[in-house]
Amino acid sequence: MRHQRVSVGPIALHSRHFWYCLLSGFFVGLSGSPTLVHAFFQSTANSETVAAPHDPVPNTPVARWWKGNLHTHSLWSDGNDFPEMISEWYRERNYNFLAISDHNLLQEGQRWMKQSALASRGAANALEKYRARFGGSWVETRGEEGTDSYQVRLKPLDEYRYLLEQRGEFILIPSEEITDRADGKPVHMNATNLDEVIQPLGGKTVREVMENNLRSVLEQEKAKGREILPHLNHPNFGYGITFEDLAAVMSERFFEVYNGHPGVNHRGDAKNPGVERMWDLANHLRVNKLGGSLLMGVATDDSHEYHGKPGSRPGRGWVMVRAEYLTPEHLIRAMKAGDFYSSSGATLSDIQWDAAAKKLSVTIEPAPGATYWTEYLVTTTSGEPEEIGRVGLATQELSSSYTLKDGETIVRAVVTSSLAPVDPVFDDQKQQAWTQPFTMVPAE
């Protein structure tokens, strides 16, 4: 993994916008005609074959942060709303991408659902709300209303995406939660940007199940020539997966360091470490003992409940990915290069890893009224428990950095806000942001 990268901050974005506004204003002021402004940029574009500044397909886009959720459920499996309603929820809240990842299926083919089944899913009013938002000509039903025969059609992704996607603003990515078990323990893995459904392959042990399903995903990625992102879900759900499992399956490069479902034991218990601690323990084994690559951390919603009842509601965990284009391939490539962070509320404007200087730098984009606490967690080669994820530096500065010292091999930063999340999952929860871990040990 290489993390050397060019700084691309919001200043570049702002200045470009600034100049365009300034020039537009100048030309409008000068000529009194917006048409001339348009003509000016068009002629520039034609003569130099460069896209105009307002073009939705820019010629030289600046890398920027895109917000997305990669773990979501709908009526197609055990979520309780229509995929269009869920997509709209995220789109309206300035997400740029969403992967609805239903259990062991892709949203394709003919599917009808009885209205009575909606009620048993805790969604008695879902059809009414769906009609109110999208209109009667979009919603398809059959049978006689008020009888048991009354059904509503669940539309496939390839049908509804054209209603909701906006180029450069919001995209939907096909996904599946490959939902498997081993020894009675849940082993769930999301695969983002699939082309074909993957049936869970099973296996004798947790690690075998992880490896089998991961192999399926990687085979499809190769066969179809597309980027697919597998990530292991909620390791502490049913305490199914240990940190040793996370370390041993080296081909798994992503896991959920935060999942907004209240039932996933994020903080662990008396016997089991919390998920963040597992991350450091697994990465110590992977990098310092096995000579492999780092495991990266994703935050997701795992949302099922969309009608305000208790449960796994949307909006609790997301990733911010730095890429030039809003396409699945560009987002996934950026994530594979480690150019993303995870959040339950806190926002970062910049993260830089200077591999040559072994230095990690973080800049926070502060929310009004918030103060922040940034911890740089370092791991040394010693293997002593207190040397795994030790606090190397704690600071209240909005911009800070940490340089690895002798014997220290891994560093990551976690930023904690003084503010609670909008919809907290547990008592005393604060908004956080997690950078990826970085190491100067060459991987792979």
Which positions touch Zn ion (CB under 5 A)?
177, 188, 233, 302
- The alpha carbon of 116 is separated from its chain's Cα centroid by a whole number of angstroms, namely 33
- Which CB atom, from 287 or from 319, has the smaller least distance to Zn ion? 319
Beta strands in 193-295 (DSSP E): 229-232, 254-259
- Which CB atom, from 157 or from 413, has the smaller least distance to Zn ion? 157
- Which CB atom, from 102 or from 221, has the smaller least distance to Zn ion? 102
- Shortest distance, CB of residue 248 to Zn ion, whole angstroms? 20
The Cα 399–Cα 386 span in angstroms is: 26
- Shortest distance, CB of residue 296 to Zn ion, whole angstroms? 19
The CA distances from residue 243 to 188, 277, 341, 372, 386, in Å, are 15, 9, 21, 29, 16
- Shortest distance, CB of residue 324 to Zn ion, whole angstroms? 30
- Shortest distance, CB of residue 302 to Zn ion, whole angstroms? 4
Residues 6+ apart with CB under 8 A from 284: 379, 383, 388, 410
- Shortest distance, CB of residue 81 to Zn ion, whole angstroms? 15
Residue with tokens 């992977």: 286
- Shortest distance, CB of residue 254 to Zn ion, whole angstroms? 15
- Which CB atom, from 40 or from 89, has the smaller least distance to Zn ion? 89
The Cα 201–Cα 180 span in angstroms is: 8
Could you give phi then psi for residue 372, rounded to 5 degrees? Answer: -130, 150
- Which CB atom, from 103 or from 307, has the smaller least distance to Zn ion? 103
Which bin fits 130, alpha (ψ -120 to 50), beta or left (φ > 0)?
Answer: alpha
- Which CB atom, from 64 or from 266, has the smaller least distance to Zn ion? 266
Two structure tokens written together for 160? 């509804």
The CA distances from residue 235 to 72, 251, 297, 438, in Å, are 17, 16, 12, 21
